[in-house]
């Protein structure tokens, strides 16, 4: 599990890179990374239990699996037939909040690794 010192070091490192960067697109990516790290830092200040984080990650993974299992039914019965097949999966992910759940998994994996 990441510690506050590790996250603080990563934030400082990214800020130094940000100050030396000239490209605006790269600066935006670095800024987003710093904001993510600050979010993690604030969360780690609450001293979360690693077992709770593992359980939460497993619960979210199970929920994503169950939602993905419903895709065939959703595609055949719920989705509007006018929607192109290649766009259905992204529409399904938006409607079922799978994208948001994947972000949570990514954050928990970052904290736990």
pTM for this prediction: 0.84
**DSSP code of 75?**
I
The residues, ordered by sequence, that sit 6+ positions from 66 with a Cβ below 8 Å of its Cβ are none
**What are the 10-residue block averages of pLDDT along the chain, 113 residues in total?**
94 93 92 96 94 96 94 85 84 90 95 92
Give 108's Cβ-side CA count (13 Å radius): 20
Over residues 46-57, the pLDDT tens digits come to 999 999 999 999
């Amino acid at each position: 599990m990441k510690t506050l010192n590790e996250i603080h070091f990563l934030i400082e490192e990214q800020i130094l890179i940000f100050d030396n960067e000239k490209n605006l697109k790269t600066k935006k990516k670095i800024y987003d990374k710093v904001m993510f790290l600050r979010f993690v830092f604030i969360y780690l200040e609450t001293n979360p239990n690693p077992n709770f984080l593992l359980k939460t990650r497993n619960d979210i993974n199970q929920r994503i699996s169950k939602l993905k299992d419903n895709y065939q039914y959703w595609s055949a019965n719920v989705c509007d037939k006018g929607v192109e097949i290649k766009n259905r999966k992204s529409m399904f992910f938006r409607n079922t909040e799978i994208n948001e759940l994947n972000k949570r998994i990514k954050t928990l994996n970052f904290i736990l690794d």
